[in-house]
Structure 1
Amino acid sequence: MAELEWEGLVAAEAAGQRLDQFLAEPLGSRARAARLIAAGLVSVDGRELAKRHSVRAGERVVVARETPGPAAASGPQPAQFEVVWEDEWLIVVDKPAGVVVHPARGHMTGTLVQALADRASGGEDPQRPGIVHRLDRDTSGLLVVAKSDAVHRRLKAMLADRSLRREYLTLVEGTPPARSGTIEAPIGRDRHDRLKHSVDSDAPRAAVTHFELVEVLAHAALLRVRLETGRTHQIRVHLQAIGHPVIGDSIYGGPMRFGLKRQFLHAERLAFTHPATGAPVDVRAPLPGDLTAALAAARAALL
């Protein structure tokens, strides 16, 4: 007999709700409920029904616990990550370069989402439970992940009202003409290369990036960058647009210098008001080894 995840009766006040909506609270999110229903792990009065089923008062709903398939042990290894903050409401992880955040074409396994399957929840997309924002595969650093629908909604609202602060460190080609600045240029899919994003787009969306000069190096500069919006590849596209591409960025023109094998871009700081407790959360992740070595090489080039 399968181990139970949850079992209960439909109360009169819940009658008429969709099955996935009814299960959203006990299972942590509507997306997770929909996934378990689709997997055949939910029964209503002994029958497997679609997620759109309208529950009726007195129906008994039973949810079986998920178990890994027999191929799990020999399948792809879980994504590696470091937890830098965790409580009952959310988790902040330090994602290494090379890890994909959620399943996508060409990367259906070994993702961060799958590694967090028992801890993350919330949101409408069953492929991205708990994911509030993302990082490119070859960008390292901090991500906040929700553990429930309610926390996911609040963190998404913070992104929308720009109260969730995201800061990056990046090494760029050349030196910007000002010690600080704001790049305000809409971004969308490039008109000529559908695999890239660009300020030259038929469907641009507003994008704002702030930067500060941290250190001037030999034909390079270390910048602290703050995102106001979060478009795909935003930092990389904006810095290319002003003539200072991220070093190591093979897609947007940054040269492979200082021993780098990927773009020098690291999500170094996250700061926000905790959506459940109201306490300030301010976490940082040090540069990983490959970027630390590249920065040392860039400094040595001054000698």
Structure 2
Amino acid sequence: MQTGDTLLVVLNNEQPSDLIEPMEGQLDVIYEDKYLLVVNKPPGLASLPAKARSSRTMANVVKYYLQSKEENSSIHLVTRLDRETSGLMVFAKNSYTHSLLDQILHSDDFKKYYLALVYGEVQPQNGLIDLPIGIDPKAFYLRSIDYKLGKESRTIYETVENYENDSMLKLKLLTGRTHQIRVHLSAIGHPIIGDEMYSLKKDPRINRQALHCYQLQIIHPVTKKLLKLTAPIPEDMVLLRSALKG
């Protein structure tokens, strides 16, 4: 090759896997182009089907949506959320875009911001939680702070609002560990309201952890334009926030 040469790259057609069954369902599309799809996931819906599950997940609904548009329906999940966490999720529309997004996923070109309602007033009000996370020895599906075997995990938090006994935090992930925000906030003594798994108590005011991925700032891997995408706070967290304000 020489400077000034023009290259044409033709991507092979992808064959969607049969492991994910297309299922009709409501899809809240926040952004879409021929390279990627960003959706607002409701609480109570898993990101991907588990081996033993055949219930509807975001991946099933997205596959149905892409098939209905006669587009490549191979599922390329770039970001995932816990079943009971709501908010923005990114799907790539081909393996090439998926690869480009993976390269910037934990860089300043791909910023993920969350809102969480937590127990107590966090002090200091802003800071960095830098605690390694590993698999909880008591249960494989749980995570815990593990200084010996845990992986580096860092979360930036900022207090948005203080209430009489609780707080709303804005959080930015610098790493992407399973249950990272939930484990980190629990570790500093301020678990997320409604997170029965890590707070060890049930809260009658909300039936899931009050955690929402509300904003993404992504340098588009192909067009190089800045995408600043937001998803409104879901109704259950709005109601909880009003209750906390009294």
TM-score category, normalised to shorter length: 0.7 to 0.9
1:163 aligns with 2:163: no
Name the CA shift for 1:254/1:276 in 2 (closer, same or farther; >3 Å): farther
CA distance in 1, matches of 2:52, 2:237: 26
1:241 aligns with 2:187: yes
8 Å CA contact 1:101–1:111 kept in 2: the answer is yes
User: Normalising by structure 2, what TM-score?
Assistant: 0.86
Larger Rg: 1
Preserved CA contact (<8 Å) 2:30 2:39: yes
1:26 correspondence with 2:48: no
Alpha-carbon distance in structure 2 between the residues aligned to 1:83 and 1:255: 34
Kindly state the Cα deviation for residue 133 of structure 1 after the two structures are TM-superposed: 1.5
**Cα deviation, residue 80, structure 1:** 3.3
Higher relative contact order (CA 8 A, sep 6+): 2
Are 1:273 and 2:214 counterparts?
no
The one-letter amino acid of 1:227's match is L
* Shift, 1:255, TM fit: 4.5
TM-score (norm 1): 0.70
- Partner of residue 144, structure 2: 198
User: Structure 1 counterpart of 2:137, which letter?
Assistant: R
- Offset, 1:275: 1.0
1:277-292 aligned within 5 A: 277-292=223-238
The alignment-based identity, stated in percent, is 35
User: Aligned partner of 2:161: which letter?
Assistant: E
Q: Which amino acid aligns with 2:176?
A: G
Matches within 5 A, 1:26-175: 26-28=12-14, 32=15, 35=17, 78-117=24-63, 129-175=75-121
Moved more, 220-229 or 80-89: 80-89
Change in Cα spacing, 1:201 to 1:274, as seen in structure 2 (3 Å) is same
CA distance in 2, matches of 1:221, 1:281: 29
Quick one: distance in 1 between partners of 2:165 and 2:195?
16
Instruction: Answer yes or no: is the 8 Å Cα contact 1:120–1:129 preserved in 2.
Output: no
Unaligned runs of 5+ in 1: 1-23, 40-67, 122-127
Counterpart for residue 221 of structure 1? 167
What is the rounded CA distance, in whole Å, between the counterparts of 1:258 and 1:287 in structure 2?
A: 19
RMSD of aligned residue pairs (Cα, Å): 2.4
Q: Where does residue 299 of structure 1 map in the other structure? A: 245
- Distance verdict in 2 for CA 1:146–1:254, change over 3 Å: same
Structure 1 residues 261 and 85 mapped into 2: Cα distance closer, same or farther (>3 Å)? Answer: same
Corresponding residue pairs, total:
230
Distance (whole Å) between structure 1 residues aligned to residue 161 and residue 191 of structure 2: 16
How big is the shift at 1:174?
0.4
| CA distance in 1: counterparts of 2:200 and 2:66, whole angstroms | 35
Q: Does 1:259 align with 2:205?
A: yes
Letter in 2 for 1:161: S
Q: Does the residue aligned with 1:252 lie in a helix, a strand or coil?
A: helix
Q: Which runs of 5+ in 2 are unaligned?
A: 1-9, 68-73
